[in-house]
Amino acid sequence: MARFILPFVIFMIVAIFLFVGLGLNPHEVPSPLVGKPAPAFSLPQLHEPEKQFSLQDMKGKVWLFNVWASWCTACEYEHPLFMELSRRNLVPLYGMDYKDKREDGMAWLQQHGNPYTLVVSDAEGRVGIDYGVYGVPETYLIDKQGVIQYKHIGVVTEKDLSEKILPLVKELQAK
């Protein structure tokens, strides 16, 4: 009997590792940008491309920076949540239309509604690279000092918002 115990224990350890591994999302790569100052940028606004918007403009505010695109189907899933968030007026939500045509982005917002205080257009995806964007949607929480406090990769769910993002927003706003 005793000779079966060791192989069984080893089997269980391997099984537990595999099981935990199955539950992980390989696309959630930890961002080295969390805790670091958000990369500076200056981009044309989506609705008024002659006007620029830059990171400097947000100094002293806690805000959410959501990277989306009209070609991004997953973005539609989190969109109603953002509409709700903008109605509740808890935290300013800014959008970045990533690697998208201006008219497509505007049409998408027209169709689905615009939850953003302001949207900038990163047509070539250069600022996206600076922010380490590799899978849209991605959402950044930036504090009053312009430091990235949290990065969410993929669709933001109700749970993410109420359990992670909003408590962190409150905490940062109080500082």
Partner 1 sequence: MRHLLIALLCLLPVFAHAGEATDMAADPVLEKRMIGLAENLRCLVCQNESLASSHSGLAEDLRREVREQMQKGLSDQEIIDYLVSRYGDFVLFDPPVKKTTLVLWYGPFILLLVGVGVLIHQLRKRKNLIAETELSAEDAQRAAELLNETADTPNQPKDSQA
Name the residues that contact partner 1, by CB under 8 A: 26-27, 29-33, 39, 99, 124-126, 128-135
DSSP assignment of 71-110 equals: T-STHHHHHHHHHHHHHHTSS-EEEEEES--HHHHHHHHH
Please, which residue, 8 or 134, has the CB nearer to partner 1? 134
> CA 64 to CA 135: how far, in whole Å?
17
Using alpha carbons, list the distances in angstroms from residue 101 to 41, 95, 132, 133: 19, 15, 21, 18
Please, which residue, 31 or 114, has the CB nearer to partner 1? 31
Closest approach of partner 1 to the CB of residue 114, in Å:
25
Closest approach of partner 1 to the CB of residue 84, in Å:
30
Using alpha carbons, list the distances in angstroms from residue 10 to 3, 6, 18, 75: 12, 6, 12, 43
Please, which residue, 21 or 32, has the CB nearer to partner 1? 32
Closest approach of partner 1 to the CB of residue 161, in Å:
24
Please, which residue, 98 or 116, has the CB nearer to partner 1? 98
Closest approach of partner 1 to the CB of residue 85, in Å:
27
Task: Report the length, in residues, of the chain.
Answer: 175
Please, which residue, 79 or 151, has the CB nearer to partner 1? 151
Closest approach of partner 1 to the CB of residue 142, in Å:
16
Which residues, in sequence order, are CB contacts of 36 under 8 Å at separation 6+?
A: 147, 148
